[in-house]
Chains A and B, each alone.
Chain A
Amino acid sequence: MSTTATRVIVTGEKPSRRSLFRRSRPEHVNRPGQRQRVVKETLAGYGFLIPWLVGFFGLTLIPMAYSLYLSFTKYNIFTPPQWIGFDNYIRMFTSDPAFVQSAQITLIYVLVGTPITLAAALGVAMLLNYRDKGAGFFRSAFYAPSLIGGSVSVAIVWRAMFANDGPVDNSLSAIGIDLGGWIGNPALVLPAMILLAIWQFGATMVIFLAGLKQIPKELYEAAEMDGAGPWHRFRAVTLPMLSPVIFFNLLLGLIGAFQVFSSAYIISNGTGGPAGMTNFITLYLYKRGFSDGQMGYAAAIAWVLLIVVAVIAFILFRTQRSWVHYAGDNR
């Protein structure tokens, strides 16, 4: 429908209308007036779609394609990109220890941080779901950190809290654990970053809470009648009924964790230090692109990141068959 319609507009050709519309004409269109109306509606439809289409092509698809092209080039912003084939990708895995370290710490951050965040969010969501008294207050209190979570101010506060002589250091010293500051210590700064991620579980928690509210009370009552204890009720009712929400949160959590940037930027003053331990992939590619003028290399890193995230998402989708239960699902 669309192609024929636009062809009329664009070329101004006047082929016989009958032949023009024959192929794509829906069965029910048989009167000439109705046919015109369908064309008009289609055009209007595309007219309304134009803003989105422009955005999609101009801001998403074309830049993505261009960045894919750039990832095969040497591009310093100033001189035109120069095709170098797979050199950027080869360099990444063979002669750039900073990239390897960056990939490692990002993976650790994702694999350790995400499950703990989910568990914490689910735990608190269940507590809040258990009783309604004061729930509104606690819900807001737990949600607040994630509202301001990505913000610069929180990272600055975190930096101060975990610094030498900061509240965390001082309270640990008081009970005899003398670790010194976490922020300047290569061994402790990653745990501090993971704690920051876990602390921002509010958004995940709210979604869990909504999921928990959806579980019919009757199921719990029935399980209780059958003599199921709290742990068994959790295993047999809560987890399966909540599995679509868990799946959703897990997917979003993983993707979000791979893209950690602002907190690392602030905590390390943009350096990725100490000793590269906060040099997460996104921070590393940003520095490569914008400070070092190695845009081609930065684009290649971005594509590796995209592929890794895509593969993980794909695997998750494949495994959901075995553990995610949708209502009305007969599997």
Chain B
Amino acid sequence: MFSKKRALAGAAIAAGAALVLAGCAGGGDGNPDAAPTFDPNEEVTLDLAFWGNDVRAELYNEAIAAFNEEYPNITVNSTFLTFPEFWEKRQTEAAGKNLPDVMQFDYSYLRQYSENGLLLDLDPYLGNIIETDPLPENILDIGVVNDTTYGITTSTNAWGLFTNPVLLEQAGVEEFEGGSWEDYTDWMGEVTDGAGGAFWGGGDYTGRIQNFELQLRSEGKNLFDEDGTPGFDEERLTEFWESGAPIREDGIGIPQQRVEEVAPKGAFDSALTASELTWDNFGAGYLAGLGESYTELGLIAPPVTEEGAKDLYLKPSMLHTISANTEHPEAAATLVNFLVNSPQSGEIFGTNRGLPASETALDAAELDPLSQQVKDYEASIADRLGDAPPVPIVGYGTLEEKFRQLGTELNFGTVTVDDAVTQFFAEMDVVLNQ
């Protein structure tokens, strides 16, 4: 007992000395006197939670093993769940102030968790434990809520248009060459005609809130501002949903019933549609879903609402955060730094979590053709990339899901556009006044 106490005291002194030294060195931004340091001799156990599947879990195991070579005294216990279950579990843990030390985190929950004091303020660790040099300023800014950094972006993605070359060849239609949303609808119609009932050119894109966001951004607006003010009114949403009517009613888009039947797979990775607007890191999953006969997909920029508008933006495909209640913030920050910045993590994860945001990790990552394609795509849309919108409002996930559900109902014809708009605004009223 006594010796353990002495060891602790020794550790404390060492930590104190290190602190002083760090202070003298004056390293890091922020307040150099308070720069936290990590004691490499303290035995620490950290909980790490992420969403994913067996494949990703295996990568995390490798990464933790590599981490332990450097930091043998930090034991990392990791757990994983699928995405919806992951968040259900976090909700209950958050209620009990019992979140895991380090979490893989989603952008849409960042505001909710940080504004409720559940996440650790990472500013004191930036520039010392968490290296900031490999992370561009605009990437670091993604994890900032109310002027405080709560999350470190592991990887980025952007909205894009995937196409299926095999189906396009079958339909005898050229790749979509870009243009307005109407052009895209016409092109979908050509593919559907060419397919002769075997597949469709695409689906009703008005069911996705991101496509609405893209149009709003062309008009210089956001879906929601920082304070939750929507950048659209009932009239604008009506206009948007009505613009999908030809796709729904003229037989251009895939019928909703077919979409429901292949769930949880999507219409695109079931080879039922030849195009899909979604995040550009979905390609690997699509290829896996489509099977061995597919080796490549098309990935091009989405239709344009207004020429020259900065409607696209880079979004974090995921972040890493630390629980405000962690007993070992320094060790947790060390782990986060390793998972985001280290060449080992770049090598191990590749683009499993999206295109690595950290330059050191990206340099070490071996890019398969698809990842290279994503990288090239993100470079090709550089002139359409604008500033990222404000961190999503609390309840954004609920509204996104409501939007999607109303979209499916529009496709089934069980709701009119006017009713759908009324319902969405009623939901918004509840969510925004929470």
Knowing A78-B94, A270-B84, A293-B91, the reply to whether A96 touches B426 (Cβ < 8 A) is: yes
Complexed CA–CA distance, A92 and B259 (Å) = 30
Q: Which residue of A lies closest to B96 (CB)?
A: A77
Complexed CA–CA distance, A96 and B95 (Å) = 26
Task: List 28 contacting pairs A-B, 8 Å CB cutoff, sorted by A.
Answer: A76-B434, A77-B91, A77-B92, A77-B94, A77-B95, A78-B94, A78-B95, A78-B112, A78-B118, A79-B116, A91-B430, A95-B426, A97-B419, A98-B423, A163-B261, A164-B257, A180-B257, A184-B259, A185-B260, A186-B412, A273-B260, A274-B412, A275-B256, A276-B405, A291-B88, A291-B401, A294-B430, A294-B434
A178 an interface residue at 8 Å Cβ cutoff?
Answer: no
Q: Which residues of B contact A274 (CB under 8 A)?
A: 256-257, 260, 408, 412
Report A72-125 residues with CB < 8 Å from chain B CB: 74, 76-79, 91, 95-98
A253 an interface residue at 8 Å Cβ cutoff?
Answer: no
Q: Which residues of A contact B395 (CB under 8 A)?
A: 292-293
A264 an interface residue at 8 Å Cβ cutoff?
Answer: no
Complexed CA–CA distance, A204 and B372 (Å) = 60
Complexed CA–CA distance, A77 and B98 (Å) = 13
Q: Which residues of A contact B259 (CB under 8 A)?
A: 184
Which of the listed residues A77, A95, A163 has the most CB atoms from chain B within 10 Å of its own CB?
A77
Q: Binding site of B, secondary structure by majority: helix, strand, loop or mixed?
A: helix
Q: Binding site of A, secondary structure by majority: helix, strand, loop or mixed?
A: loop
Q: Which residues of A contact B118 (CB under 8 A)?
A: 78
Q: Which residues of B contact A183 (CB under 8 A)?
A: 260-261
Complexed CA–CA distance, A284 and B54 (Å) = 30
Report B390-419 residues with CB < 8 Å from chain A CB: 394-395, 397-398, 401, 405, 408-409, 412, 414-415, 419
A290 an interface residue at 8 Å Cβ cutoff?
Answer: yes
Q: Which residues of B contact A276 (CB under 8 A)?
A: 405, 409, 414
Report B315-372 residues with CB < 8 Å from chain A CB: none
A259 an interface residue at 8 Å Cβ cutoff?
Answer: no
Which of the listed residues A98, A163, A274 has the most CB atoms from chain B within 10 Å of its own CB?
A274
Complexed CA–CA distance, A83 and B394 (Å) = 20
Q: Which residues of B contact A76 (CB under 8 A)?
A: 394, 434
B236 an interface residue at 8 Å Cβ cutoff?
Answer: no
Q: Is the CB of B409 within 8 A of A97?
A: no
B87 an interface residue at 8 Å Cβ cutoff?
Answer: yes
Q: Which residues of B contact A164 (CB under 8 A)?
A: 257-258, 261
Q: How far is the CB of A40 from chain B (nearest CB, A)?
A: 41
Complexed CA–CA distance, A146 and B430 (Å) = 40
Q: Is the CB of A97 within 8 A of B423?
A: yes
Q: Which residue of B lies closest to A286 (CB)?
A: B88
- Identify the A interface with B (CB < 8 A): 74, 76-79, 91, 95-98, 163-164, 180-181, 183-186, 269-271, 273-276, 290-294
B196 an interface residue at 8 Å Cβ cutoff?
Answer: no
Complexed CA–CA distance, A10 and B258 (Å) = 69
Complexed CA–CA distance, A193 and B191 (Å) = 36
Q: Is the CB of B430 within 8 A of A275?
A: no
Q: Which residues of B contact A294 (CB under 8 A)?
A: 430, 434
Q: How far is the CB of A138 from chain B (nearest CB, A)?
A: 34
Knowing A74-B434, A76-B434, A274-B412, the reply to whether A184 touches B95 (Cβ < 8 A) is: no
Q: Which residues of B contact A273 (CB under 8 A)?
A: 260, 405, 408
Contact with A along B76-113 (1 / 0, CB 8 A): 00000000100110011011000000000000000011
Q: Which residues of A contact B91 (CB under 8 A)?
A: 77, 290, 293
B24 an interface residue at 8 Å Cβ cutoff?
Answer: no
B25 an interface residue at 8 Å Cβ cutoff?
Answer: no
Complexed CA–CA distance, A163 and B259 (Å) = 12
Q: Which residues of A contact B256 (CB under 8 A)?
A: 184, 274-275
14 further contact pairs, Cβ within 8 A, besides A290-B92, A291-B398: A77-B92, A163-B261, A181-B257, A181-B261, A184-B257, A184-B258, A184-B261, A185-B257, A186-B412, A275-B414, A291-B88, A291-B401, A292-B395, A294-B434
Complexed CA–CA distance, A132 and B138 (Å) = 78
Which of the listed residues A180, A269, A293 has the most CB atoms from chain B within 10 Å of its own CB?
A293
B264 an interface residue at 8 Å Cβ cutoff?
Answer: yes
Q: Which residues of A contact B263 (CB under 8 A)?
A: 269, 271
Q: How far is the CB of B325 from chain A (nearest CB, A)?
A: 13
Q: Is the CB of A184 within 8 A of B434?
A: no
Q: Which residues of B contact A181 (CB under 8 A)?
A: 257, 261
Q: How far is the CB of B371 from chain A (nearest CB, A)?
A: 28
Q: Which residue of B lies closest to A188 (CB)?
A: B257
Complexed CA–CA distance, A275 and B423 (Å) = 14
Q: Which residues of A contact B264 (CB under 8 A)?
A: 269
Q: Lowest 4 A-B CB distances belong to which pairs?
A: A184-B260, A184-B261, A78-B116, A184-B257
Q: Which residue of B lies closest to A183 (CB)?
A: B261
Q: Which residue of B lies closest to A274 (CB)?
A: B260
Q: How far is the CB of B241 from chain A (nearest CB, A)?
A: 16
Q: How far is the CB of A287 from chain B (nearest CB, A)?
A: 9
Complexed CA–CA distance, A32 and B1 (Å) = 54
Complexed CA–CA distance, A183 and B430 (Å) = 31
Q: How far is the CB of A41 from chain B (nearest CB, A)?
A: 41
Q: Which residues of A contact B401 (CB under 8 A)?
A: 291
Complexed CA–CA distance, A180 and B405 (Å) = 22
Q: Is the CB of A291 within 8 A of B412?
A: no
Q: How far is the CB of A304 from chain B (nearest CB, A)?
A: 17
Complexed CA–CA distance, A186 and B359 (Å) = 49
Interface residue from B92, B397, B431 paired with A291 (Cβ < 8 Å): B397
Q: Which residues of B contact A77 (CB under 8 A)?
A: 91-92, 94-95
Q: How far is the CB of A267 from chain B (nearest CB, A)?
A: 10
Q: Which residues of B contact A271 (CB under 8 A)?
A: 263, 405
Q: Is the CB of A291 within 8 A of B84?
A: yes
Q: Which residue of B lies closest to A164 (CB)?
A: B261
Q: How far is the CB of B373 from chain A (nearest CB, A)?
A: 29
Complexed CA–CA distance, A76 and B394 (Å) = 10
Q: Which residues of A contact B419 (CB under 8 A)?
A: 97
Complexed CA–CA distance, A3 and B172 (Å) = 88
Complexed CA–CA distance, A211 and B419 (Å) = 52
Contact with A along B224-262 (1 / 0, CB 8 A): 000000000000000000000000000000001111110
Complexed CA–CA distance, A271 and B409 (Å) = 13
Complexed CA–CA distance, A64 and B426 (Å) = 29
Interface residue from B92, B394, B412 paired with A275 (Cβ < 8 Å): B412
Q: Which residue of B lies closest to A74 (CB)?
A: B434
Q: Is the CB of A291 within 8 A of B87?
A: yes
Q: Which residues of A contact B258 (CB under 8 A)?
A: 164, 184
Complexed CA–CA distance, A181 and B259 (Å) = 11
Report B238-297 residues with CB < 8 Å from chain A CB: 256-261, 263-264
